[in-house]
Amino acid sequence: MGLNFRKSITLFKGVKLNLSKSGPSLSFGRSGLRQSINLKGQARTSVGIPGTGIYYTKNTNVKNLAKKGKEKLEELTSKKKGKAEEQAALPAAAGAAAAKGAKTTKAAAKAAPAVNPDLERNQQLVAEFEERIEAVKSVHKQSDGYIDWEVIKKGAGNNKELIPFAESVLEGNIDSYFKVIAEAGPFDDLLEFGSSFEVGTDDPSMLEIEFRVMSDKVIPENKLSLKANGDLVEKPFTKTEYYELVQDYVASTILRVARDSFALLPIQKVIIHAVDFKLNTATGNEDEITIVSVKIKRDALMTINFERIDPSDCLGGFEINEKFKKTSGFAPVDRLLPD
């Protein structure tokens, strides 16, 4: 979370020069949603709450990203160069072998097998597949910045007009909660993992959140690997592999939703319902069902080391309704009710 109080000079429409103690920066975009980058290479996405001066921010170090991109490019270039040198050396090796006779030529050919022309492409496809699978199981490892409403209430940045809004949030004004949620869009970056996020409450100490999982879009049906000769192998997951991956994906997304909810608002508990569509064989239609319903308390979540957990095992430590089988996946469950 960052509170942005700075002087700014409009250079031309949509672009501002910002002056602050940490140095100058440029910002781009419309009011309420802006991108900025400073001289240290730090990029920031800011979503403002109109009329309050509060900005909900996410930071990225552009220089680090550029460095990683450069290192990746150099690595790929080095691999290509090495392969080119190997291929260039093959004719010379073959010529030398020919001078020693037919037997030597055959031996040399066996010692220097032809390079698979699709090897690099296949390696890239497998790497992308593995990254996708890891991302599906690691949604919980990142979270939006924490907003300390108590600090804002005390007049952070010497901006007194923020104090009334912070007080209304800390007093449990539900309308203020929804204003923060609407402007900050805490679940927008989860739309590739879930859809139709709905948030509701009539209790200022909690939120109730429902979202639809998208297993059919998020989890691939087939897995990729390489043969020893570099050929690409694509074959279906086993039922156990597939459904365990779905379980981790759902659990990881639920944990991320909980983390973002606690980061944004001073609530003490969230009730999260994951829903999906399942074929009703009696009607031939797909019915919406609840597959996981869980209550998560702030204090319990704060004790978790998110870098080291198995998301499905972790979720099992909370009050939860879930019916899951490794060979058939999730079954419908009843929703947990607020206390």
Closest CA to 208 of 338, 321, 311: 338
**pLDDT value of position 269:** 97
Q: Which residue has the higher pLDDT, 98 or 146?
A: 146
Name residues whose C-beta falls within 8 Å of residue 85's C-beta, 6 or more positions apart in sequence: none
Please tell me the distance from the alpha carbon of residue 315 to that of residue 297, in angstroms, as a whole number. Answer: 12
Going from the C-alpha of 241 to that of each of 10, 76, 227, 237, 253, the distances in angstroms are 55, 32, 20, 6, 18
57 half-sphere exposure, CB direction, 13 A CA radius: 19
The 3-state DSSP composition of the chain as helix, strand, coil percent (nearest 5) reads 40, 30, 30
**pLDDT value of position 72:** 54
| Same structural domain, 138 and 23 | no
**pLDDT value of position 189:** 78
Residue 238 lies in a domain: yes
Please tell me the distance from the alpha carbon of residue 333 to that of residue 339, in angstroms, as a whole number. Answer: 18
- Which pTM value belongs to this model? 0.68
**Domain final residue pick, 23, 40, 63:** 63
Tell me the pLDDT tens digit for each residue of 225-257. 999 898 999 999 999 999 999 999 999 999 999
Tell me the pLDDT tens digit for each residue of 124-139. 999 999 999 998 899 9
Q: How confident is the model at residue 2 (pLDDT cuts 50, 70, 90)?
A: very low
**pLDDT value of position 30:** 45
Q: Mean pLDDT score of the chain, rounded to an integer?
A: 77
Please tell me the distance from the alpha carbon of residue 185 to that of residue 197, in angstroms, as a whole number. Answer: 10
What Rg, from alpha-carbon coordinates, does the chain have?
27
Tell me the pLDDT tens digit for each residue of 164-211. 888 999 999 999 999 888 878 888 878 877 778 899 999 999 999 999
Amino acid present at 93: A
Please tell me the distance from the alpha carbon of residue 247 to that of residue 294, in angstroms, as a whole number. Answer: 14
- Structural domains of the chain, count: 2
Residue 174 lies in a domain: no
Residue 336 lies in a domain: no
| Same structural domain, 11 and 140 | no
Q: What is the distance of C-alpha 75 from the center of its chain?
A: 25
| Same structural domain, 44 and 138 | no
| Same structural domain, 139 and 50 | no
Tell me the pLDDT tens digit for each residue of 293-339. 999 999 999 999 999 999 999 999 999 999 999 999 999 999 999 98
Expressed as residue numbers, the domain containing 16 is 7-63
pLDDT at residue 101 greater than cutoff 50: yes
Residue 291 lies in a domain: yes
Please give the sequence-ordered ranges of beta strands (E in DSSP) within 13-106, or none if there are none. 15-19, 25-30, 33-38, 42-49, 54-61
